[in-house]
Amino acid sequence: MPRVALQYGHGEVEFSIPDGRLLGELRPAAPKQISDPYAESLRALASPLGSPPLGELCQAASTALVLTVDFTRPSPRPLLEPLLDELASHGIKADIAIAAGRHRPMTDAELHAHLGERIVSCHRIILHNSFDAAAHIELGVTSRGTPIRVNRCIFDYDLVLAVGSIEPTYMPGFSGGRKMLLPGMAWHESVDANHYLITQPGTGAGILAGNPMSEDMEEFARELPLHFILYGVIGPEDEIAAIVAGDRHVAHREGCRLSGGIFRVRSPRAGIVISSVGGHPYDCDLVQGKKAIIPASALVEDGGAIIIVAEAPERWGAEAVFSEWLLRYSPEEVLRRASDRAQFSLGAHGARILAKPIVEQGVRVIVLTNPMLAEDLQDSFVDATAEPEQALRWAVEHAGEAATVLAVHKARRLIAEPAP
């Protein structure tokens, strides 16, 4: 009886698959890792895409703000350190803003682990809080109805730069670039308004052209300062596979092209899909861990079952509406309410992506998680257990004894396409 192990928190969880039923294990490609990110970053800063070298931009500047990601993304330190050193070589000691969107603020311990002692002790750190009304300025509204309300600190500097990672993401196509401003530095209602566009056709991992969420982000960011970017194209183990720098549009698009080559995968559909986002920190809570359902939904047969593997030690996560809707409404009611812009929120979106395959594909959704969250979910419209054997039994009960099984690794980044 074959066994498959998927990442779960800081470790793994194993499933025993009946003989002859394992369709396969799906993983992203394994790219060559950059051996010296510091040197490669300096090279990219000196020879950027679509922009003068950073040194030239510094000649007309005396202050700089570097926007970067929070702990739910890979540490930016390998790129942040050479960028800060390059700015310092031109007499600029940059401040750093954690563009956390609606995520909870990082703790001091998380901040030191994420950025490193040298950076935290030597630079002013701004923790963006999307609920702090006084910290934001409103500049209008996008054509799709998103308020252009952003942290006013970005207007206090001669140069605004962004450092982070480019990877596929299931709503606006790819992370990075415009996403550092929306949702990164945006007011919480702006984030919700943009996320509402997930209900419109055209969104999805790896999709930029015609993607309403991405296009709305671009429009939001159009008049906001973001003068230069430095991004790592991330591989499946959070390794840096490539580095791009320069203009926020030109360099970002090249990074997206490279990222798509790593994470685009194809497989025949399976009756049961077991899917893990990739362990800690990406399954720190159910808000993050639920992302495993996106490629699974693309690869499961109608009438099948999906097992989401997520330890979620922080349980539900920060979005109260997410838990409320899962516990209060049926999947059909969730989809109905989420289609109403007045009721939509980031938490509502989380409930929606769990409800969608249940309603539209007849799929049973099962969450394999820690015992406390499993108990929390008992009255929700998904099934939950802390035991892999129970999760697989439920899946077989729904999908049938002959159902094939597909294990999906690193699911949060995959661009999954069903094969004929």
Distance between CA atoms of residues 64 and 384, nearest Å: 47
Distance between CA atoms of residues 234 and 136, nearest Å: 31
Segment 319-325 mean pLDDT: 90
Task: Kindly tell me the sign of the dihedral angle through the C-alpha atoms of 189, 194, 195, 200.
Answer: positive
Distance between CA atoms of residues 139 and 187, nearest Å: 12
Judged against a pLDDT cut of 70, whether residue 325 lies above it is answered with yes
Judged against a pLDDT cut of 90, whether residue 345 lies above it is answered with no
**Other beta carbons within 10 Å of 1:** 9
DSSP secondary structure, 245-263, as one string = EESTTHHHHHHHHHHHHHH
* pLDDT number for residue 268: 98
The owner of tokens 């701004």 is: 126
Query: What strand order describes the sheet that includes 240-246?
Result: 125-127, 95-98, 64-68, 159-166, 228-234, 240-246
Q: Give helix then strand counts, H and E, for the chain.
A: 15, 20
Assign 399 to helix, strand or coil. Answer: helix
pTM for the full model?
Answer: 0.87
Judged against a pLDDT cut of 90, whether residue 317 lies above it is answered with no
* pLDDT number for residue 420: 82
Judged against a pLDDT cut of 70, whether residue 318 lies above it is answered with no
Judged against a pLDDT cut of 90, whether residue 208 lies above it is answered with yes
* Radius of gyration for the alpha carbons in the chain, expressed in angstroms and rounded: 21
Judged against a pLDDT cut of 80, whether residue 319 lies above it is answered with no
DSSP secondary structure, 98-124, as one string = E--TTSPPPPHHHHHHHH-HHHHHHS-
Distances (CA, A) of 206 to 170, 209, 219, 256, 324: 7, 10, 19, 8, 30
User: pLDDT tens digits, residue range 17-39?
Assistant: 999 999 999 999 999 999 999 99
* pLDDT number for residue 89: 98
* pLDDT number for residue 113: 95
Question: What is Dmax (Cα atoms) for the chain?
Answer: 69
Distance between CA atoms of residues 81 and 23, nearest Å: 44
Segment 195-217 mean pLDDT: 95
**Other beta carbons within 10 Å of 118:** 11
- Label the pairing between strands 168-169 and 159-166: unpaired
Cβ contact 124:95 at 8 Å: yes
Judged against a pLDDT cut of 80, whether residue 362 lies above it is answered with yes
Cβ contact 130:318 at 8 Å: no
Segment 212-228 mean pLDDT: 97
Distance between CA atoms of residues 19 and 26, nearest Å: 18
Domains and CATH numbers, the chain: 3-28+268-418 (3.90.226.30), 37-262 (3.40.50.11440)
The owner of tokens 């809707």 is: 325
* pLDDT number for residue 132: 97
* pLDDT number for residue 60: 93
Segment 185-203 mean pLDDT: 94
Q: At 53, is the pLDDT very low, low, confident or very high (cuts 50, 70, 90)?
A: very high
Specify the amino acid at residue 270: A
End-to-end CA, the chain: 27
Q: At 1, is the pLDDT very low, low, confident or very high (cuts 50, 70, 90)?
A: confident
Mean pLDDT, the chain, rounded, equals 96
Distance between CA atoms of residues 372 and 140, nearest Å: 44
Distance between CA atoms of residues 373 and 14, nearest Å: 19
User: pLDDT tens digits, residue range 139-182?
Assistant: 999 999 999 999 999 999 999 999 999 999 989 999 999 999 99
User: pLDDT tens digits, residue range 306-315?
Assistant: 999 999 999 9
Which of the 8 DSSP states describes residue 49?
B
